[in-house]
Amino acid sequence: MSSTFSTNRSPPTARSWFELNYRYRIPFWGIAYVLPTVLFFAVFKFGPMLWAIELSFTNYDMVSTPTFIGLENYRGLIADPIFRETLINTLVYIAGSTILITVVGLALALAINTGVPGARYCMTAMFLTNLMPIIAVCLVWRFLLHPYGLVNQLLSPLGFGRINWVTDSATAMPAIIMVTVWRFAPYFMVIFLAGLLAIPQDYYEAAKLDGANVFQRFWHVTLPQLSPTIFFVVVVSALLSARIFLMPYIITRGGPGNSTRVLSMLIYETGFSYLKMGRAAAISVVLFAIMMAFTVLQMRLFRGSEQERFR
């Protein structure tokens, strides 16, 4: 750097001023670029979350001033069978859709990656479902899952009877998970494809020379190489499914009974239909705890990848 400035004929005082300025100028710009985002998150993410925790200890109802009632809201939730059922539904939904999204996403990526001509176009076609508005997805699938709808039409030659997908409590949750996978798996297929393309070709060549067959190569090369991607997909799709609202809201209305009601629906109903803001805030804290568990996993993953970068 000094050689660059030695050709500069400015007096030494000005130069040292410039260098001093430079040392502080750069961090200043870094802070300036990040600051709007940090302020935004303080107002719209962290502030509201702290407020939710505070409200969860009150009986706030939008009308009277909130009074502190301690753990009463949480005690009420534990005693409430509808809440317990909803919590279990949410966990079942998260587990089911996360596992299936990961498996289907990976399977689709492997199918695309066979290098068959036209694979690109098939990928684009599959990705379209991910761009279709969720509300349109829900309305279309509500008709497709109708007892006389397309799904049953296609299944009947295989010997299935008329399945009441959304009105039978045994099939309602699987149906919603299926629609979720249909909508989101192609996105993760793209993530998996990027991961597959990043695996060095030499590894496969070496494995082939050692006489490994297709499945051995998948097990010993692809899976270990892909494990950061798999972990990422699991965490992201779990965070995504924990937030689900529209699919059960449109396709099953939370029914039959309570069998597909999820936490976000319960938060909305408790808060805005019954105006029990304190209790709704307590449910939010429960949902937050679920999301936090997955985010901690995500952070561990992130820290690992950062350390690799700086190694």
Residues 126-155 that bind other proteins (CB under 8 A): 126, 128-137, 139-141, 143-144, 146, 148-150, 153
**Quick one: which of 99, 246, 256, 269 contacts other proteins (CB under 8 A)?**
246
Q: Which amino acid is at 289?
A: A
- Radius of gyration in angstroms for the set of CA atoms belonging to the chain, rounded to a whole number: 26
What's the closest the beta carbon of residue 200 comes to other proteins, in angstroms? 10
- Rounded CA-CA distance 229/199 in Å is 11
Cβ burial, residue 245 (10 Å; 0-12/13-18/19+): middle
Min dist CB 9 to other proteins, Å, is 15
Site string for other proteins, 79-108 (x = CB under 8 A): -----------------------------x
The whole-angstrom separation of Cα 144 and Cα 163 is 12
What is the distance between the alpha carbons of residues 222 and 224, in angstroms, rounded to a whole number?
6
Residue closer to other proteins (CB basis): 84 or 120: 120
Q: Which parts of 176-215 interact with other proteins (CB under 8 A)?
A: 182, 186, 190-191, 193-194, 196-199, 201, 204, 214
Torsion of CA 305, 102, 105, 231, to 10 degrees: 10
Q: Which two tokens stand for residue 200?
A: 């060095």
Q: How many residues bind other proteins (CB under 8 A)?
A: 108
Question: Residues 279, 270: contact at Cβ < 8 Å?
Answer: yes
In contact, 266 and 260? CB cutoff 8 Å: no
Contact 105, 196 (CB under 8 A): no
Q: Which is nearer to other proteins, 92 or 212 (CB)?
A: 212
Kindly tell me which residue out of 23, 84, 120, 162 binds other proteins, with binding defined by CB under 8 A. Answer: 120
Identify whether the C-beta of residue 169 lies closer than 8 Å to the C-beta of residue 92: no
Minimal distance, residue 40 CB to other proteins, in Å? 5
Residue closer to other proteins (CB basis): 78 or 127: 127
- Give the residue, chosen from 122, 170, 206, 223, that forms a contact with other proteins under the rule CB under 8 A: 122
**Under the criterion CB under 8 A, does residue 115 sit at the interface with other proteins?**
yes
- Contact between 249 and 304 under an 8 Å Cβ cutoff? The reply is no
Q: Which two tokens stand for residue 198?
A: 């990043």
Q: Smallest distance, Å, CB 78 to other proteins?
A: 20
Cβ 299 to other proteins shortest distance, Å? 6
Instruction: Restricting to residues 34-73, name those near other proteins by CB under 8 A.
Output: 34, 36-38, 40-41, 43-49, 51-52, 55
For position 288 contacting other proteins by CB under 8 A, the verdict is yes
Those residues with Cβ within 8 angstroms of residue 207's Cβ, 6 or more apart along the chain or in another chain: 216, 217, 220, 221
Site string for other proteins, 252-281 (x = CB under 8 A): ------------x--xx--xx----x--xx
Residue type, 26: I
- Tell me which of 82, 92, 110, 230 binds other proteins, using CB under 8 A: 110
Distances (CA, A) of 305 to 176, 181, 232, 295, 310: 34, 27, 11, 15, 9
Minimum Å distance from CB 300 to other proteins? Answer: 11
Q: Which is nearer to other proteins, 82 or 217 (CB)?
A: 217
Nearest distance from C-beta of residue 161 to other proteins, angstroms: 14
